[in-house]
Amino acid sequence: MQQLFNIFEVTQSNVDYRLAHPEPLCRHDYEEILVGTNGQLDHYIDFRIERSVAPSVVFIPMGKIHYTQPSKDARGWVIQYKSEFAPGTPFSTFSKFLETSCYPFSTPETIERMTGLCQMMNREYQMASPDYLVIRHLLCALIAMIDSERKKNLPAVPEAKSTQVMLFNNFLKILEANFRSAAGCKTYAEKLNISVRHLNNVCHAMFGKSVSEIIETRKLLEARQLLIGTSRTVSEIGFDLGYNEKSYFTRVFHKKTGLTPTEFRTAAKSLTS
């Protein structure tokens, strides 16, 4: 995609076209949000199938291998944007740690508000000289609403305070620089000058996962990308991600994905060839 932003409404004509011309597996250099107001969407991402039944949202992070298949009555909106157009949003921050990309709406009012934001973005985008600052603000408002819906599906916890938000974001930054090492929860807590218990509380409040679960999720998401995109051996990939033994890496990978690294790579190659 050449432009920083794009939006269009899902209508009968483009659904019919997609059904007649199925989308191949692909990777995008942009983020994509699919707001479903009717019908359903089968979404294949990271070699998992998710079915999103409207009203719902599907978020497709940049660089993920995926395809989508709508039902004939699918309707809604598609929003595409480069990460630099809306930096620092919850999805751009969390996309490397999310294990699901589908989020149901909880109330009819939610879909009405989201649809209204999409309509306003589309009207501004169709102007002869669109104001991209206005579009950016509307997009950030939409993403904030989606993130609010995501949090409603997490275990009930006290509302995160601003200090927790700052701590969690700092943790993610440190994790991004160190996840390839064998560093554990204690190391990250020490880098933040807090206890492991405090860090776990923050992670549960912000993301619904423990510190160790977030670390492992990040490692295995990277492992999937390396298995797909490189010719490194399983042992090399495991070692690069802090797993000193191939057998342990294989056990952890199999527990989380249902496939061994070798099986995953074979399946990925057969699907993308």
Report whether 219 contacts 261 (CB < 8 A): no
Write down the CATH number for the domain with range 162-272. Answer: 1.10.10.60
Helices (H), 74-161: 90-94, 108-125, 132-152
Q: What is the pLDDT along the chain (273 residues), one digit of tens a residue?
A: 789 999 999 999 999 999 998 877 777 888 899 999 999 998 877 667 788 889 988 888 887 778 888 999 999 999 999 988 988 776 666 666 665 678 887 777 888 999 999 999 999 999 999 999 999 999 999 998 888 877 776 555 455 567 887 898 899 889 989 999 989 999 999 999 999 999 999 998 877 889 999 999 889 888 988 888 789 999 999 999 999 899 999 999 999 888 899 998 888 777 655
Cα distance from N-terminal residue to C-terminal residue, the chain = 23
**Separation between Cα atoms, residue 260 and residue 253, nearest integer Å:** 6
Residues 100 and 52: their CA atoms lie apart, in Å, by 11
268's tokens:
């990925």
CATH class of 5-152: mainly beta
Q: Domain map of the chain by residue range? A: 5-152, 162-272
* 40 beta partners: 53
Measured CA to CA, the distance from residue 111 to residue 154 in angstroms comes to 20
d(CA 21, CA 81): 24
